[in-house]
C-alpha cells in the first residue's frame, strides 16, 4: 500500500470524492450486479456471519439493481453514522484513513464486465459495496472501522503503515470468525468472491489460525491468489476491544526488528483450527 505519490484524477474533489452518478448505470450493469448478488445470496447464508445477512436486510440491499449510495448512506447514517461515497479508484493512504476515521467508506462506482465475473484486479462496486457495506450496519464493526482509520493516521507517523495494512487485510478483507462453534466468513474479499467463499471454509489447504495481533502484523499476504492463511477472531467485540485497548506503538517498534513471516508459516504457538486438515497436520509436525 504505497500510495503516497498518487496524482488526483481530473474531476475529483480535494477529498477525491466523485458523484456516483447512479442514473448513468445501464441495464446491463444493473443486470451484472443482480447476477453476482444472486449467486452470493444463494451460497452465503450458512457460511457468512449472521451480522452480514442482517446488514443486507436492514440496508434493503436485497432489492434488485446497483445500490444508490445516497440511499445506502441515509439508512447507514441512522443505524451507525456511516456514509458510502464514490471515488475513482484507490486513494492515497492518509486520505483513505481520514475517510474511515470520519465514518466515510470510499467505494468504486464501476462494475466488472461479464469477462471479469470471477476475477478482476481492482475492486469494483460489487466488491466494495456488497462485500464491505453490510457490516457497516453493525455498531461494533462500524466502530472498528473508524478506529482502524484513526490507527492508520497514527501508524503513518511511525512509518508502520505496512504492518497495520496487514490487519485490514486479514480482518476486514479476509477475516474468518468463530460463531456457534463453526467457522464463518466475514471478510469482504471473501464474501464478494464465489470461489474464495467456498475455498476459505472447505478447502483443506489453507491455515486457519487464531487471531494474534502482533503475529498477524508480522505476516505477509498474497494479492494474486486465494489466501494461504486466514486468521480467526472470536467475535467482533473481541476484535474491537483488543485493537482499541492495545497501544500499537511498542508493537510497531518490535516489528521493525523482526523478520516478516511468510504466508504459509505455522508457528508452534499458533492456535490452528482443526478444519483444513493439511494445516492441522503441518502444525502437529512442527509441535
Which residues of this chain interact with ligand PHE, rule CB under 6 A? 147-148, 151, 154, 167, 243-244, 246-248
Look at residue 151 and give the partner it binds from Co ion, ligand PHE, none, a contact being a CB closer than 5 to 8 Å depending on partner kind.
ligand PHE
Look at residue 188 and give the partner it binds from Co ion, ligand PHE, none, a contact being a CB closer than 5 to 8 Å depending on partner kind.
Co ion
Residues engaged in binding Co ion (CB under 5 A): 188
Smallest separation (angstroms) from Co ion to the CB of 257: 31
Look at residue 125 and give the partner it binds from ligand PHE, Co ion, none, a contact being a CB closer than 5 to 8 Å depending on partner kind.
none
Q: In the complex with ligand PHE, which residue's Cβ is closer, 10 or 247?
A: 247
Q: Which residue is nearest to Co ion (CB)?
A: 188
Whether the CB-CB separation of 207 and 229 falls below 8 Å is answered with: yes
> Rounded distance, CA 19 to CA 76, Å?
18
Q: In the complex with ligand PHE, which residue's Cβ is closer, 211 or 248?
A: 248
Q: In the complex with Co ion, which residue's Cβ is closer, 135 or 279?
A: 135
Annotated active-site residue 173? The verdict is: yes
> Rounded distance, CA 236 to CA 80, Å?
15
Q: In the complex with ligand PHE, which residue's Cβ is closer, 31 or 244?
A: 244
**Positive or negative, the Cα torsion across 165, 152, 71, 22?**
negative
Smallest separation (angstroms) from Co ion to the CB of 278: 27
Smallest separation (angstroms) from ligand PHE to the CB of 227: 20
Look at residue 147 and give the partner it binds from Co ion, ligand PHE, none, a contact being a CB closer than 5 to 8 Å depending on partner kind.
ligand PHE
> Rounded distance, CA 235 to CA 141, Å?
10
Smallest separation (angstroms) from ligand PHE to the CB of 217: 10
Task: Read off the DSSP letter of residue 219.
Answer: B
Q: Which of 51, 99, 160, 173 is catalytic?
A: 173
Quickly count: other Cβ atoms within 10 Å of residue 112's Cβ.
20
Whether the CB-CB separation of 93 and 163 falls below 8 Å is answered with: no
Smallest separation (angstroms) from ligand PHE to the CB of 143: 9
Whether the CB-CB separation of 203 and 276 falls below 8 Å is answered with: yes
> Rounded distance, CA 154 to CA 252, Å?
11
Residue with cell 449510495: 69
> Rounded distance, CA 140 to CA 135, Å?
9
Q: In the complex with ligand PHE, which residue's Cβ is closer, 9 or 250?
A: 250
> Rounded distance, CA 150 to CA 135, Å?
19
Look at residue 248 and give the partner it binds from ligand PHE, Co ion, none, a contact being a CB closer than 5 to 8 Å depending on partner kind.
ligand PHE
Q: Which residue is nearest to ligand PHE (CB)?
A: 151
Q: Which of 160, 192, 193, 197 is catalytic?
A: 192
> Rounded distance, CA 191 to CA 58, Å?
18
Look at residue 246 and give the partner it binds from ligand PHE, Co ion, none, a contact being a CB closer than 5 to 8 Å depending on partner kind.
ligand PHE
For 129, 159, 247, 254, the CA distances from 250, given in Å and listed in that order, are: 35, 13, 7, 6
Annotated active-site residue 132? The verdict is: yes
Smallest separation (angstroms) from ligand PHE to the CB of 137: 19
SS3 139: helix
For 130, list phi and psi in degrees, rounded to 5. Answer: -65, -45
The residues carrying an active-site annotation are 127, 132, 173, 192
Amino acid at each position: 500500500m504505497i500510495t503516497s505519490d498518487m496524482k488526483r484524477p481530473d474531476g475529483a474533489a480535494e477529498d477525491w470524492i466523485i458523484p456516483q452518478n447512479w442514473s448513468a448505470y445501464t441495464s446491463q450493469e444493473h443486470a451484472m450486479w443482480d447476477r453476482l448478488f444472486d449467486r452470493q445470496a444463494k451460497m452465503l447464508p450458512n457460511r457468512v456471519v449472521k451480522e452480514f445477512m442482517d446488514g443486507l436486510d436492514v440496508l434493503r440491499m436485497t432489492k434488485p439493481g446497483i445500490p444508490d449510495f445516497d440511499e445506502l448512506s441515509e439508512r447507514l447514517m441512522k443505524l451507525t453514522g456511516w456514509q458510502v461515497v464514490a471515488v475513482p479508484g484507490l486513494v492515497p493512504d492518509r486520505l483513505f484513513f481520514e475517510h474511515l476515521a470520519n465514518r466515510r467508506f470510499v467505494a468504486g462506482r464501476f462494475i466488472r464486465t461479464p469477462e471479469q465475473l470471477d476475477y478482476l484486479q481492482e475492486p469494483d462496486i460489487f466488491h466494495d459495496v456488497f462485500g464491505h457495506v453490510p457490516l457497516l450496519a453493525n455498531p461494533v464493526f462500524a466502530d472498528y472501522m473508524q478506529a482502524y482509520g484513526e490507527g492508520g493516521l497514527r501508524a503513518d507517523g511511525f512509518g508502520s503503515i505496512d504492518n497495520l495494512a496487514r490487519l485490514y487485510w486479514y480482518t476486514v478483507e479476509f477475516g474468518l470468525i468463530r460463531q456457534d462453534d463453526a467457522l464463518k466468513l466475514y471478510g469482504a474479499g471473501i464474501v464478494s468472491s464465489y470461489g474464495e467463499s467456498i475455498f476459505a471454509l472447505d478447502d483443506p489447504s489453507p491455515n486457519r489460525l487464531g487471531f494474534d495481533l502482533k503475529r498477524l502484523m508480522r505476516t505477509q499476504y498474497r494479492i494474486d491468489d486465494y489466501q494461504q492463511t486466514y486468521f480467526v477472531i472470536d467475535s467482533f467485540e473481541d476484535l474491537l476491544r483488543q485493537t482499541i485497548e492495545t497501544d500499537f506503538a511498542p508493537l510497531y517498534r518490535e516489528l521493525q526488528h523482526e523478520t516478516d513471516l511468510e504466508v504459509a508459516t505455522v508457528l508452534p504457538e499458533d492456535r490452528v483450527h482443526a478444519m483444513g486438515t493439511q494445516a492441522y497436520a503441518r502444525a502437529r509436525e512442527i509441535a
